[in-house]
Amino acid sequence: MKQKPFLGLDEVKRIAAAAEAEALANQWAVSIAIVDDGGHLLWLQRLDGAAAISAQIAPAKAHTAALGRRESKVYEDIINQGRVSFLSAPGLSGLLEGGVPILVDGFCVGAVGVSGVKSTEDAQIARAGIAALT
């Protein structure tokens, strides 16, 4: 039987702290979501001033990145290039940039989704969080 790594609470807290630090350093009011490899929510944090809807969008972006094992921007690009039928893909709703998978030893162990500022900035925060694992 194969074995794979998984996110523990300690790792989730490190990711969340680093993502929060990146957001605060830039004065960005966002929501930060961390999910496991099945897209199940492990952490949700809404910073002061973040729009209420961001607390729904961030987990959706993370869910999409975890299940697809790729950044959610990939799906946004597919749709923007004219394949709008992809909007009907089952189980995916966060088809916007800002969801980044967490890859460890070739395994997707989860993802971080961020919402509240420009999509590129959301992804920057997510990547900063993930970088705390190394």
Domain assignments of the chain as residue spans, ordered by start: 9-131
Residue 134 has pLDDT above 90, yes or no: no
Determine the Cα angle at 22 with ends 132 and 27, to 5°.
170
Residue 92 has pLDDT above 90, yes or no: no
**CB distance 16 to 128 below 8 Å:** no
Specify the 3-state DSSP secondary structure of 34.
strand
β-pair partners for 45: 32
Q: What is the pLDDT of residues 52-90, one digit of tens each?
A: 999 999 999 999 999 999 999 999 999 999 999 989 989
CA 61 to chain centre: 5
Q: What is the pLDDT of residues 98-129, one digit of tens each?
A: 999 999 999 999 999 999 999 999 999 999 99
Q: What is the pLDDT of residues 21-58, one digit of tens each?
A: 999 999 999 999 999 999 999 999 999 999 999 999 99
Q: Which CATH code fits 9-131?
A: 3.30.450.150
Q: What is the pTM (predicted TM-score) of this model?
A: 0.96
